[in-house]
Amino acid sequence: MSTEQIEIGTDADPRRYEHLSRIRLEDPRAVQRAADSRRRHPGLVYGQQNFVVAADHPARGALKVRSDPRAMADRRDLLDRLQIALANPRVDGVLASPDVLDDLLLLGALEGKLVFGSMNRGGLPGLVNEIDDRFTGHTAEALNRIGADGGKMLTRICFEDPHTTAVLESTARAVDSLAALELIAMVEPFISRITDRGIVNDLSADAVIQSVAIAQGLGGSSAHTWMKLPVVEEMERVMAATTLPTVLLGGDPSGSPDEVFATWEAALALPGVQGLTVGRTLLYPEDGDVAGAVATAASLLEGLPARGGAVR
């Protein structure tokens, strides 16, 4: 299916992905064959910003976008949106849970793309022990088997919750397992608080800086570790806290698109920032124009001055 033929909305053919179910039933090894034959991304270069689309939210039961509590529930609709986004040549890759990556592999949508797998999805929103975010997704070995570039882990640090110690330990082990295979460990740290509204991430600059200080020291080596950080006020101070390559987190869309894009543009120019990892903001734009939202975000990366050369 070409992206020109993809129609988002209720008029789309409900059987358009029926072949995926048939392949999974009759020929499950096709997923590995697709991974083995996939053309890889040409390689990472410092100063060449990377643009990664994120689609690992459903695996945590997080389906809400803005006021729609089930926005990401329709898998066919999500695959439509992902294929439209990935068809833009400026999109470098995807971050997703195993089920979504397998679908994209079967669709041939990951040719020449960076591939990151989501490793811990056990901290379901509203769960009584939500901070105890178990590693229920990709393992380092599974990512290596499909030729992925790395794995991402959400690391919420809650000083009021004793499960935080186990979270830090399991994150360190994941960093080590990825490093042993020379895969990127993309760590997404937050200082989190327990409130009447549930677990809330502290997005003050001081809290983000503290989370970076803790997260970048996890594991036996940081040689393959990246940070995945929210765009907050005083982002210059945040980026001064690390020498690790950092991608910016898009998060749940709030504010006008122009305001969101402006904050990204300013943060992308900071030293150490290696690109964007954005999901819901681009896949579910208010006006419904996925291709347009992706193109706008891509234009922010294209206008940045070059920094350095290829990593040797």
Query: In this predicted model, what pLDDT tens digit does every residue of 38-68 receive, in sequence order?
Result: 999 998 888 789 999 999 999 999 999 989 9
Residue 36, CB-side half-sphere exposure with 13 Å CA sphere: 5
Least confident interval from 79-83, 100-104, 123-127, 305-309: 305-309
| DSSP per position, 194-220 | EETTEEEE--SHHHHHHHHHHHTT-SS
Is residue 105 within 8 Å of residue 38, measured between CB atoms? Answer: yes
Does residue 310 have a pLDDT over 90? no
Does residue 1 have a pLDDT over 70? no
Look over the chain and give the mean of its residue pLDDT values, rounded to a whole number. Answer: 92
Higher pLDDT among residues 7 and 166, named by residue: 166
pLDDT digits (tens, 9 = 90+) for 258-271: 888 888 899 999 99
Domains in the chain: ranges and CATH? 43-302 (3.20.20.70)
Rounded to an integer, what distance in angstroms lies between the CA atom of residue 266 and that of residue 197? 31
Q: Are β-strands 184-195 and 198-201 bridged in parallel, bridged antiparallel, or unpaired?
A: antiparallel
Q: Using alpha carbons only, what angle is made at residue 57 by residues 258 and 299, rounded to the nearest 5 degrees?
A: 30
Give percent above pLDDT 90 in the chain: 81
Q: Which residue, among 300, 146, 116, 136, has the nearest Cα to 226 in the 3D structure?
A: 116
Rounded to an integer, what distance in angstroms lies between the CA atom of residue 158 and that of residue 169? 14
For the residues 88-104, what does the mean pLDDT come to?
Answer: 98
pLDDT at 252: 65
pLDDT at 3: 61
For the residues 162-171, what does the mean pLDDT come to?
Answer: 98
pLDDT at 267: 94
DSSP annotation of 248 reads: E
pLDDT at 309: 44
Rounded to an integer, what distance in angstroms lies between the CA atom of residue 62 and that of residue 71? 9
Where are the alpha helices (H) located in 108-204, listed in sequence order? 140-145, 164-180
